[in-house]
Amino acid sequence: MNSQDKLIVFDTTLRDGEQSPGASMNKDEKIRIAKMLEKMRVDIIEAGFPVASPGDFESVRAVAETIQNSTVCALARALNKDIDRAGEALAGGKSTRIHTFIATSPIHMKHKLRMQPDQVVEQAVAAVKRARKFTDNIEFSPEDAGRSEFDFLCRIIEATIKAGAGTINIPDTVGYNIPSQFGELIKRLIETIPNADKAVFSVHCHNDLGLAVANSLAAIMNGARQVECTINGLGERAGNAALEEVVMAVATRQDVFQCKTDIDTTQIVTGSKLVANITGFAVQPNKAIVGVNAFAHESGIHQDGVIKSRETYEIMRAQDVGWSDNRMVLGKHSGRNAFRARLTALGVEFKSEEDLNEAFAKFKVLADKKHEIFDEDIQALVTETTQTIANERIKLVSLRVCSETGETPCSRIILNIDGEEQQSVSEGDGTVDASFKAINKIVNSGTELQLYSVNNITSGTDSQGEVTVRLQKNGSIVNGQGADTDIVIASVKAYVNALNKIMEPVDRKHPQSSNL
Ligand code: KIV
Ligand code: ZN
């Protein structure tokens, strides 16, 4: 180990990140995020769990066919059908990896798998061998390693390395560990397992106790050379280790870490905004690295210090993670070429000229309403253009709302449903509530509203409001987005988008379910 060691960055935003309820993404959204991760120089992109559903399979296949400079990985339980499906989805990829896993903690083996430890080892070894028929690049994870018995972990890891796994990932699946203990675990595993030098040790930490990043860093200090993480820390329950935090900790504290990543850190903020925009999971203002306040100095003493010498209160440069003061702004006089150039700089490519034209037309409409168009506006606009789902059955035709002091707010809406226009009127507690009620009179969706959130995309009263609506029906959860300078219209767009998505429910398997 020395300071030249490379720390492999394995991003699982598209797989574990997508397991956050409501963060599901469609194929085009996944391709957009994958391209951004490639631009950020992430080493490995875990694109999904192909056996989960035909849609998941297609998304992994599309990402594998698109990405050229990062390795694309697919997740598979230690089951033949999962591994074959993963292998098939990755077939068109340039550099690919299969990540297979099985639970190893006593509690998981007994209650979830209902298997004896010997059977678990046998199945893990068989899975690694089968995966090798598709690629030489195999990762094995003993799920819930953080609560597994040390001797059993050593046994299964030794056997899977022998079977051909080149990466051994140690997941703290339920976020139970604390840094000193987790670092020690990694150190002991590397020291004890006879063939440990034949594999790269990786970690995958969940944030249930808010320790995912701390545990990952402790593991890196103790020999882990791959870290699994997600943009904005998205992921199952409390999420995974945040990529931006791990990467910037390693970059900033080179006196402590004996390794380096290849990440282009100047892409971090763009990546964070893209993921927030697509998933509707807003970033808290005080979030490290990517929160809007991360580099803002409020107190006079701090401001004075930073003006005299930046290092007084800043340990990183805002520009190094992609915050920039002189942001390029477009306006109503900007032409198609300037618009296209800005899209290219943001890593957005449209599949066809028609899609570009549609986005440009929307840009012109927005530019008429809003003086300055920022990168965040463009991202929202691209999301709106690309998220149009294949069989969009409901379209907003027009909306009229009335709001007056002392009067009950009301809304009149016209929707086009399956090609036929339908109108409805409703009153409500506010104009948004009235509009949603009017929509429901027509659609009668039977959905439950789980989340309604409004964020201003940029500052100023002419900013676009970006609305996320999360709906639930029969266990299926979708996220709809809409953006507009008028927040009632943005809300209606988001609601209609969510309704369209929920009309196409998909039967997806969860990778960590007991249903083997
Ligand atoms: O948290 C976990 O254990 C996982 C595995 C599939 C690696 O996500
Ligand atoms: Zn996980």
Tell me which residue has its CA closest to atom 3 in ligand 1: 173
* Rounded Cα–Cα distance for residues 286 and 308 (Å): 24
Whether residue 316 sits in one domain with residue 268: no
Q: From the CA of 124, how far away is ligand 2's center (Å)?
A: 18
- The CATH number of whichever domain residue 448 belongs to comes to 3.30.160.270
In sequence order, the β-bridge partners of residue 451 are 470
Q: What's the pLDDT at 503? A: 82
Whether residue 398 sits in one domain with residue 354: no
| Domain assignment present for 342 | yes
* Grouped pLDDT means (10 residues each) for the chain, 516 residues: 81 95 85 95 98 96 98 98 98 98 97 96 98 98 98 98 98 98 98 98 98 98 98 96 98 97 95 89 93 76 67 85 72 87 80 86 88 82 70 90 95 95 96 97 93 81 86 84 92 94 74 67
Tell me which residue has its CA closest to atom 2 in ligand 1: 173
Whether residue 177 sits in one domain with residue 131: yes
Tell me which residue has its CA closest to atom 1 in ligand 1: 173
Q: Which atom of ligand 1 is nearest to the CA of 75?
A: 6
Q: What's the pLDDT at 298? A: 59
* Rounded Cα–Cα distance for residues 279 and 194 (Å): 43
| Domain assignment present for 289 | no
- The CATH number of whichever domain residue 122 belongs to comes to 3.20.20.70
Residue-number span of the structural domain to which 307 is assigned: 295-322
* Rounded Cα–Cα distance for residues 377 and 333 (Å): 16
Q: From the CA of 224, how far away is ligand 1's center (Å)?
A: 16
Q: Is 175 close to ligand 1, i.e. is its CB under 6 Å away?
A: no
Q: Is 334 close to ligand 1, i.e. is its CB under 6 Å away?
A: no
Whether residue 361 sits in one domain with residue 420: no
Q: Which of 280, 465, 482 is nearest to 388 (CA)?
A: 482
Which of 143, 170, 172 most suits a substitution to test ligand 1, by most atoms within 8 Å of the C-beta? Answer: 143
Whether residue 225 sits in one domain with residue 370: no
Number of domains within the chain? 4
Helix (H) or strand (E) holding 202: strand 200-205
Q: What's the pLDDT at 337? A: 87
Side-chain-side CA neighbours of 233 within 13 Å: the count stands at 25
Whether residue 416 sits in one domain with residue 378: no
Q: What's the pLDDT at 502? A: 87
Nearest ligand, measured from the Cα of 143: 1
Whether residue 369 sits in one domain with residue 417: no
Whether residue 82 sits in one domain with residue 168: yes
| Domain assignment present for 287 | no
| Domain assignment present for 331 | no
Whether residue 314 sits in one domain with residue 402: no
* Rounded Cα–Cα distance for residues 233 and 456 (Å): 21
Tell me which residue has its CA closest to atom 8 in ligand 1: 16
| Domain assignment present for 76 | yes
Helix (H) or strand (E) holding 415: strand 410-417
Nearest ligand, measured from the Cα of 241: 2
In sequence order, the β-bridge partners of residue 433 are none
Q: From the CA of 199, how far away is ligand 2's center (Å)?
A: 20
Whether residue 453 sits in one domain with residue 381: no
Q: Is 48 close to ligand 1, i.e. is its CB under 6 Å away?
A: no
Q: From the CA of 84, how far away is ligand 1's center (Å)?
A: 19
| Domain assignment present for 41 | yes
Q: From the CA of 175, how far away is ligand 2's center (Å)?
A: 9
Q: Which atom of ligand 1 is nearest to the CA of 145?
A: 3
Q: What's the pLDDT at 505? A: 60
Q: Phi, psi (5° rounding) for residue 259?
A: -155, 170
Residue finishing a domain among 360, 386, 412: 386
Q: Which of 137, 131, 124, 120 is nearest to 83 (CA)?
A: 131
Q: Which atom of ligand 1 is nearest to the CA of 15?
A: 8
Q: What's the pLDDT at 312? A: 77
Q: What's the pLDDT at 201? A: 98
| Domain assignment present for 512 | no
Q: What's the pLDDT at 464? A: 85
Contacts 24+ apart (CB under 8 A), 241-244: 241/204, 241/205, 241/207, 241/212, 241/213, 241/215, 241/216, 242/212, 242/213, 242/288, 242/289, 243/9, 243/11, 243/13, 243/42, 243/268, 244/268, 244/271, 244/272, 244/288, 244/289, 244/290, 244/321
Whether residue 237 sits in one domain with residue 151: yes
* Rounded Cα–Cα distance for residues 417 and 307 (Å): 58
In sequence order, the β-bridge partners of residue 467 are 454, 482
Tell me which residue has its CA closest to atom 5 in ligand 1: 143
| Domain assignment present for 509 | no
Q: Which atom of ligand 1 is nearest to the CA of 206?
A: 1
Q: What's the pLDDT at 413? A: 97
Whether residue 430 sits in one domain with residue 480: yes
Q: Is 77 close to ligand 1, i.e. is its CB under 6 Å away?
A: no
Enumerate residues with CB within 5 Å of ligand 2 (an ion): 16
- The backbone region for 262, taken as left when phi is positive above 0, alpha when psi lies in -120 to 50, beta otherwise, is alpha
Q: What's the pLDDT at 326? A: 46
Q: Phi, psi (5° rounding) for residue 473?
A: -150, 125
* Rounded Cα–Cα distance for residues 411 and 442 (Å): 13
